[in-house]
Amino acid sequence: MNTTKKLLAFMALMAVVLVSCEKDEEPEPEVMPPSNVAATVVVSTDNSGDVTVTPTADGASRFDLYWGDGSTTPTTVNPGSSATNTYEEGDYTLRVVAVGSTGLTAEITKPVNVTFAAPANLAVNAVVSETNLFEVTVTPTADNASMFDVDFGVEGADVQSILASESATYEYAEAGDYTITVTAKGAGAATSEATETVSITGPTGSIELPIDFEDATVAYEFFDFEGNFASVIDNPDTNGNESAKVGSILKTSGSAVFAGSIITLGSAIDFTQGNTLQMKAWSPKAGGTVKMKLEDSSDPPVGIEVDATTENASAWETLSFNFGAQINPEISYNKVIIFFDFGNPGDDTTYYFDDIELVEGASKERPQLPLGFENSDTEDYTWGVFGGVDPAEVIANPDTNGNTSANVSAITKNAGAEVWAGASLNLNGAIDWSAGTFIKMDVWSPRAGAPILLKLEDSSTNSGNGASTFAEVSASTTQAGMWETLYYDMTGANGGFATTTTYDAVVVFPDFGTNGQGETFYIDNAEVIAGGGGGGGGGNTAPQLPLDFESSTVNYTWGIFGGVDPAEVIDNPDTNGNSSAKVTAITKNAGSEVWAGASLALDGGIDWSAGTTIQMDVWSPRAGVPILFKVETPNGGPTAELQVSTTAANTWETLTWDMGSVGGFDSSLSYELLAVFPDFGTAGQGETFYIDNIEVIAGN
C-alpha cells in the first residue's frame, strides 16, 4: 500500500517537472529598432538658407536631427513634427536618427544642397550732377542684393563697393562717353551685372554778362597772354564776397607789364542797359591799377579801355569801369580783357575777380562837383568800396530833417571793417577850384565825434602803388543821428594841394582810424566853396576866443545841424548897438529841429585864465528867446551847456553865460568846440539870429 502511494507521488512529481520543463523552453518575443526611417527635406527658394525637415519612421518615439553644418547638438523632433535650420550656401549631409521606445535607433543620411539665386532686376541709375557736369552719382537697385561694386569705366580708378541703398560718386577728368559697370552681390556666390553708358559733355554754354562763375553749364574759358594764367577756383576768401566760385589770375614772375586774360562773350555787350562795368576784385596790393579793356572779334580788333585802382590789400572791393563816351554803338564789343597790376612786371602774385556786370542806366556820365546824387538817370554814381565797406550806394534820403534832398549816398562800414575802409567815386575830369579851396559836404553820422576823412586823388599819377598825387583832410562830426555840414580846407591838406592838379576821384573814409562797427553813414551835397562856411574869413588859421569874425586869415567854418542853413559870416546888417563889420548869421529854417544849431571847431582848448563866463553879443528877432551855449571836449568827451534868454527884439544886446555854475564844468579840460542853439526847445520858424564878439570874461 505504501509502495503504491510512493509510486503515485513520484509519478505526480515527474509530471510537474515535465510541465515546468516544457514552459521553460518557449521562445521570448524579439525587440526591434525603428524601421522605414525617412525624411522630407524642403530647401527655401528665397535666398534665406532655410531648410525644413519632416522625419518619419515606424516605431520611433522621437527623432534627432544632425544638420551637418558644424553644430554638435542635435535638434529633437517629435513624430509628426518638423524642424528648420538656416544654412549658408553650400553642400551638407543631413543625419536623421530615429529613436525607439526601447532606445534602439535607426538612421539615414540625406544630402542637402543650399544655393542662392543671383540678384535680379538690377538697375544702374547713373545721374550727372547739375552743379558739376563732370560728376556722376550711381545709386543701383536690385532684388536680393546686399551690396554693389561700381566700376566707373576709367582705367586705374578704384572700383567702389557700396551697401544696398547707398550711392557712389565719381568726378571725371575730361569729357567723353564712359561705360559704368555695376555688379550686384547677394547672400551667395551668384552675382548679376549691368552696364550703363553716360556722356560727360562738361560745360558747353557760352559766357554772358553778368559773369559770376557759378553756372556749371557755362564753359568759363580764358585766353591768357604774356605770362598770365586764369582759371575758376573755389573762393579763398568769403569775407566780403560769399560766392562759391571766383576767377583767379596768376601774374607769373617776369611776365609783361601788360600781361592779361581774355574772356570771350557769347554775344556783344548791350550798352543800352548802361555804360559801366562793375567787377569785384581781390588784390594783395593796395593802390594797384586794374585795367579793363573791351574789344570786338574783328582782325585787328577795335578796343576801349578804363583803369580802376585797388584801395585795399587782401580784401574784396568793387571796382567800376565807366566806358561812357568811348563806346562806339557801331562796334560789337564781345571780349572782356582784364589786366591786374597793369604797368608792373609780374611777380608770381595771384589776384581774384568775380561778379562782372553791367550797371543799369544808359549813356551815363561820371559826375562832378557839386555832387547831389539827384541825377541818377544821367550820371553814374557808382562807388568803389574797399576795406569792408559794403555797400556804398545812392538811396532815398532816410532823414529829410536838416537835408531835404531826395537822394543821398549811404556808406555802410561793416562790423570788423578795416580802419581805412571807405568808398571812392570817379569824377568827370578835374575838380574846378575857381569858386574857392574849401569843400563843403553834408554828413549824417550815427555818432558824434566820428572822423570823416575826405581824400582827392589824381588818377593819372597812379603807377600801381596808389596815386602819388593826392590831398586829404579830416573833419569830425559833432552830432549823432542828424544831418550837419562839414567843411574841408584843402589848402592845408595832407599830401599837399594845388588847384592846378587834376583831382578826378573823391574818396570818403567814414569813422577813419576805427574798425567798422556795422554802422551806416550818409553823405550829400559835396561842393567847392570859398571857405569858412560860405562867408567871410576864409583864411587858414583855426579860430580861438575872443571871436569877432573880422580876420581874413581865420577860418570861421561853422558846422550846421538839425535844420540850420546857413551859418556863415556876413556883413553886419545892423550896426546900431554893434559897430562890427562882420558877424555870424544863423538861420533856423521853418520846421527845423528844436535842437537845431551851429558848431565851430577851435584851435585847441578855450583859455579860462581870465574867468569862467562867456560873453556874446546877440541879435534876436524876438525877446524871450532861449539861446543855448555849449562847449565840448574832443571825441565825445565831457561837455558843459547853459541857457540864457534874450531880453530885446531886433536889436543887439550882450548876454553872458556863467559856465562855472554848470555842474560838471572843469576849466582844466580842453574844450575845443563851441555850439550855439538859437531859440532852443522850439521848432524853427524861418528866423535868422546874429552873434558876435564871443569872449571869456571874469564874470558879473
**The predicted structure's pLDDT at residue 161:** 95
pLDDT one-digit tens code per residue, 167-208: 999 999 999 999 999 999 988 888 999 999 999 988 888 999
Residue 215 resides in a domain: no
pLDDT digits (tens, 9 = 90+) for 38-78: 999 999 988 888 999 999 999 999 999 999 999 889 999 99
State pLDDT tens for residues 28-40. 667 899 999 999 9
Q: What is the mean pLDDT of residues 575-588?
A: 94
269 and 413 assigned to the same domain: no
244/130 Cα distance (integer angstroms)? 15
Q: Which of 436, 534, 528, 444 is nearest to 480 (CA)?
A: 444
511 and 525 co-located in one domain: yes
Stronger pLDDT, 506 or 29, i.e. the higher one: 506
* 212 is a domain residue: no
Q: What mean pLDDT is predicted for residues 556-573?
A: 85
Whichever domain contains 102, its CATH number is: 2.60.40.2470
Query: Are residues 487 and 384 part of one domain?
Result: yes
Whether residues 644 and 612 share a domain: the answer is yes
Number of domains in the chain: 5
Predicted pLDDT at 2: 55
> What's residue 6's pLDDT?
60
Predicted confidence (pLDDT) at residue 13 exceeds the cutoff of 60: no
Contact 333, 304 (CB under 8 A): yes
**Strand partners of residue 335:** 264, 295
How much is the CA Rg of the chain, to the nearest whole Å?
A: 50
3 state SS for 379-420:
ECCCEEEECCEEEEEEEECCCCCCCCCCEEEEEEECCCCCCC
Whichever domain contains 382, its CATH number is 2.60.120.430
Q: Is residue 8 part of a domain?
A: no
Residues 185, 256, single domain; the answer is no
Share of the chain above pLDDT 70, in %: 92
End-of-domain residue from the set 114, 131, 162: 114
Q: How confident is the model at residue 534 (pLDDT cuts 50, 70, 90)?
A: very low
If asked whether residues 376 and 460 sit together in one domain, one would say yes
Task: Decide which of 426 and 51 is more confident.
Answer: 51
Kindly state whether residues 399 and 265 are assigned to the same domain.
no
- pTM reported for the whole predicted model: 0.44
> Domain containing 545: what range?
535-697
What Cα–Cα distance (Å) separates residue 112 from each residue in 62, 89, 91, 106, 214? 21, 10, 6, 20, 62
Confidence of residue 304 (pLDDT cuts 50, 70, 90): confident
| Structural domain includes residue 350 | yes
Residue 3 domain flag: no
Question: Under DSSP, is residue 231 helix (H, G, I), strand (E, B) or coil?
Answer: strand
Last-in-domain residue among 69, 95, 114: 114
Q: Are 449 and 636 in contact (CB under 8 A)?
A: yes
| Predicted confidence band of residue 293 (pLDDT cuts 50, 70, 90) | very high
In three-state form (DSSP H/G/I as H, E/B as E, the rest C), the secondary structure along 506-544 is EEEEECCCCCCCCEEEEEEEEEEECCHHHCCCECCECCC
Instruction: Say if residue 699's pLDDT is above 60.
Output: yes
Question: Are 338 and 393 members of one domain?
Answer: no
293 and 170 co-located in one domain: no
469 and 541 in a single domain? The answer is no
Among the listed residues 548, 554, 560, the one whose alpha carbon sits nearest the alpha carbon of residue 592: 560
User: Is 70 exceeded by the pLDDT of residue 666?
Assistant: yes
585795367: which residue's cell? Answer: 291
Give a three-class secondary structure readout of 114-152: ECCCCCEEEECCEEECCCCCCEEEECCEEECCCEEEEEC
Residues 459 and 487 in one domain: yes
635: confidence class by pLDDT, cuts 50, 70, 90: low
Least confident of 176-190, 199-213, 231-245, 589-603: 589-603
In the prediction, which pLDDT does 148 show?
Answer: 96
Output the pLDDT for position 424. Answer: 86
Residue 6 lies inside a defined structural domain of this protein: no
The answer on pLDDT for 353 being more than 90 is yes
Cα 108 from Cα 415, distance rounded (Å): 88
Can you give the CATH number for the domain in which 162 is found?
2.60.40.10
The answer to whether residue 92 is domain-embedded is yes
CATH code (residue 333): 2.60.120.260
User: Which pLDDT tens digit goes with each residue over 373-383?
Assistant: 998 777 878 78
Reported as a single tens digit per residue, the pLDDT across 446-464 is: 998 899 999 998 866 654 4
* CA 554/CA 540 separation, integer angstroms: 6
Residue tagged 552681390 (cell numbers): 185
**Residue 608 located in a structural domain:** yes
**Could you say which of 61, 88, 114 is where a domain stops?**
114
User: Are 244 and 260 part of one and the same domain?
Assistant: yes
> Residue 413 in contact with residue 458, Cβ under 8 Å?
no
Distance CA 280, CA 384 (A): 9
Per-residue pLDDT, 540: 56
Q: How many CA atoms lie within 13 A of 170 on its CB side?
A: 22
